[in-house]
Structure 1
Amino acid sequence: MTVSSRQIAALYAVGVFLFAVMDALAKFLSSGYPTTQIVFFRSLFGCLFLLSVVLANRRGAAQRARLSSGLLARGLTVVASLYLFFLSLRFLPLATATSLSLAAPLFMVMIGKFAMGERIDKSRAVSTAIGFGGVLLIVGLPGSSVFNPYSLIGIVAAFLYALSAAQSRKLSSHHPPLTIAFSTNLVMLLASGVTTIATWQSPPAGDLLIFLCMGVCGATANWIFSVAYQRSRISNFAVLEYTILIWAGLFGYVFFASVPSGLAILGMALIAIGGIYSAMHKAAESKVGETTAVG
């Protein structure tokens, strides 16, 4: 069955929407449950989903893989990032926390430069500067009227997510993607399970359904992204990635009666502009490279 690029883009847009729903549900749950318990349920359903994929791929390397120190380190990095992001949802407007999470690609550029020795060209430096300018507008300077110290939690979460991406890139030379994904979710499940025992709150049936929906939305979105990445370049979906800001703003207004400030909206726009500009430049470079290879 042939799938067009428009169909793939539409599917990816659905994945972004599902992530926005997951974030909104996590924020709703954060008012009544410990953050570790929210991470646990998110990890549980993600792990069950990936386990079904592993069992369906019995000949894959994921079954034979051992939990190496590198896989363990990445799992702990991701669970810390997810914990801090969900914690930021407790104290920040949904749109603000979501926009700060989109700063992760900016940190990826810095990690690539200083930790992996990658070259930063002019366009990437410009896009990174624009994006960090947006982050500064959202967070504000210490002592200013717009400064919110809880925004720093979101920034650290974005940095850890970027670090996990660098770890994944390093591990990809030794492990297939399914192994990395499943081991990450397994470590997340174990770590969150252990840490949530002391503060566990048994959810009633209604809240348990919300936990289920949150986990299913996250797992389904991850599956959609994996399918899309197999069929097209990641840079092709960059613009769609930032549509999550629209959903976050809408959900925040409708369900939590929160409206970002003018400076925060401007900061979100700068983060989106910086990210889209960088992705478009990457896409242009890829096309040039393909043309050169063919010619």
Structure 2
Amino acid sequence: MYLTKIAYNSLARFKMAVKSQKRKRSSIALGIISTLAAALSFASMSGCARLLEPMPSGEMTFFRGLFGILFIPVLTWQSGEKFYTGKHRFMLSLRGLFGSIALFFYFVSIEGLTLGDAQILSQLAAFFMCILSPVFLHDKLPKEAIPGLLAIALGTLVVVQIWNFSSFNLYALYGIGGGFFSAAAYIVISHLAEKGFKSNTEIVFYFQIFSLVVGITMMQEETFALPAGVEWLWAAGLGFFALSAQMFMTWAFQHVNSVVVSFLMYSEILFHALFGWFFWDEVLTVWSWLGGALIVAGSIMLLVFKPKGNTSDTHHHVRRINPSKEKGTEL
């Protein structure tokens, strides 16, 4: 999240990112492909969760953490980072806890929402980040952020159809809650960034551990059902696709400007909607499309904020982590 005295022009900011002279066209193409592959991987993880739908959400969270841990060595090899250093254990544990709760809420939300609607509501993390930052990060909320926040708030009301009690259900509240806890996880990441902590692999490792903890805790209230047959493949897919998305995001940020990556990651909504339509005959209502457009537009308004005096910088250097960039890390 950027500091105060924000000046932005969304179209100019995006063009500046695309036309960066520091990257070759082949590198930009690779970054774009990697970003789309990451978005597709996240949608595939959600698809695996939908295929496991008879399985309780707590159990899915548990298996997400279990198989995620098994793939950690691959992420460690790819990133060259240690997965455990013993530093900042409390803050990393807090981030892992918030992220795991967000994941559990997301799994619950897809039980009663279409994949597209659940993914649209998950974009609320940017909204809650702006609300929480002035409280916990001591950032002053710039007046330029207000239109974006209002657009996101209005879009949320449209998606859940607040005026229609038959459409506004408990699952939508879980989707909104998932966005809130994702934002809380981003706040912790920002604190860690201020302390100079940069190990993305260790953040992911803690997330897997607390996915196990949260999953086991919630399973106490559920009926445990061991996967059978092909269900083991879908359970493994929860961890595989999430970590493959992480690897694709790492490559993307290495080859293309982070603003371009953040814009393209909104293709997640499209992939989720297509998966729901093709495999489960889900159809987004006109209200979902309209509300989703407002949420995406509002999030982009928040994304393109840029401090004055840095108009020549084409690489999106920021003092705090941008929630859209953290999106590629995990929930």
Shorter-normalised TM range: 0.7 to 0.9
Tell me, yes or no, if the aligned pair for 1:43 and 1:215 is still in contact at 8 Å: yes
Is 2:116 aligned against 1:92? no
Q: Give the CA deviation at 1:57.
A: 7.4
- Contact persistence 1:235–1:283 (CA under 8 A): no
C-alpha change, 1:285 and 1:102, in structure 2 (3 Å) is farther
Letter of the 1:253 counterpart: W
C-alpha distance in 2 between matches for 1:282 and 1:249: 31
Distance 1:283 1:29, change over 3 A: farther
Deviations 1:19-78 (A, max 9, x none): 111112212212x111111112211222222234447878x5544325722222211111
One-letter amino acid of the counterpart of residue 161, structure 1: S
Q: Distance in 2 between matches of 1:97 and 1:181?
A: 22
Contact kept, 8 Å, 1:88 with 1:150, in 2: the verdict is yes
SS state at 1:201 partner: coil
Shift of 1:145: 4.7
Give the structure-2-normalised TM-score.
0.78
Alpha-carbon distance, 1:142 to partner: 6.2
Instruction: Give SS of 1:259's match.
Output: coil
In structure 2, relative to structure 1, the CA distance for the partners of 1:65 and 1:233 (3 Å cut) is farther
Q: Does 1:179 align with 2:205?
A: no
Give ranges in structure 2 of 5+ residues lacking alignment.
1-23, 318-331
C-alpha contact (below 8 Å) 1:130/1:271 kept by paired residues: yes
Q: Which amino acid aligns with 2:211?
A: M
Equivalence for 2:20: none
Q: Compare the two structures and name the one with the higher helix fraction.
A: 1
Distance (Å, rounded) in 2 between the aligned partners of 1:213 and 1:63 = 24
> 1:21-100 maps to which residues of 2 (within 5 A)?
21-30=44-53, 32-54=54-76, 60=81, 62-65=83-86, 68-100=89-121
- Inter-partner Cα distance in structure 2 for 1:54 and 1:266: 41
C-alpha contact (below 8 Å) 1:51/1:182 kept by paired residues? no
- Kept in 1, the 8 Å contact 2:27–2:255? The answer is no
Q: Does the alignment pair 1:206 with 2:230? A: yes
Question: Structure 1 pair 62/99, CA: closer, same or farther in 2 (3 Å)?
Answer: same
Q: Say which of 250, 260, 273 aligns to 2:274.
A: 250
Cα contact 2:30–2:255 (8 A) shared by 1: no
- Letter of the aligned partner of 1:94 in structure 2? L
Q: Is the 8 A contact 2:42 2:241 kept in 1?
A: yes
Identity of aligned residues (%): 24
Instruction: Write the distance in 2 (CA, Å) between the matches of 1:126 and 1:199.
Output: 45
Query: After superposition, what is the alpha-carbon deviation per residue over 1:202-224, rounded to whole angstroms, capped at 9, x for unaligned?
Result: 21121111222232111100121
* Alignment check: 8 A CA contact 2:72 2:205 kept: yes
In structure 1, what is the equivalent of residue 303 of structure 2? Answer: 279
More displaced 10-residue stretch of structure 1: 196-205 or 89-98: 196-205
Letter of the 2:56 counterpart: P
Conserved in 2, the CA contact under 8 Å of 1:140 and 1:148?
no
Report the counterpart of residue 109 of structure 1 in structure 2. Answer: 130
Equivalent in 248, 267, 273 of residue 224 of structure 1: 248
Distance 1:178 1:102 in 2: 23
Residue 291 of structure 2 corresponds to residue 270 of structure 1: no
For the aligned residue pairs, the C-alpha RMSD in angstroms reads 2.8
Code of the residue aligned with 1:14 in structure 2: it is A
SS at match of 1:4: helix
Task: Give the Cα separation in 1 of the matches to 2:49 and 2:266.
Answer: 19
Contact kept in structure 2, 1:100 and 1:154, CA below 8 Å: yes
Deviation at 1:15, TM superposition (A): 0.6
Query: 1:258 deviation in Å?
Result: 1.8
SS in structure 2 at match of 1:182: helix
Structure 1: tracts of 5 or more residues without a match: none
For residue 178 of structure 1, what is the amino acid of its counterpart?
Answer: T
Is the contact between residue 31 and residue 253 of structure 2 (CA under 8 Å) also seen in structure 1? no
Equivalent residues of 2:276, 2:282 under 8 A apart:
yes
For 2:169 and 2:250, the matched residues in 1 are separated by 35
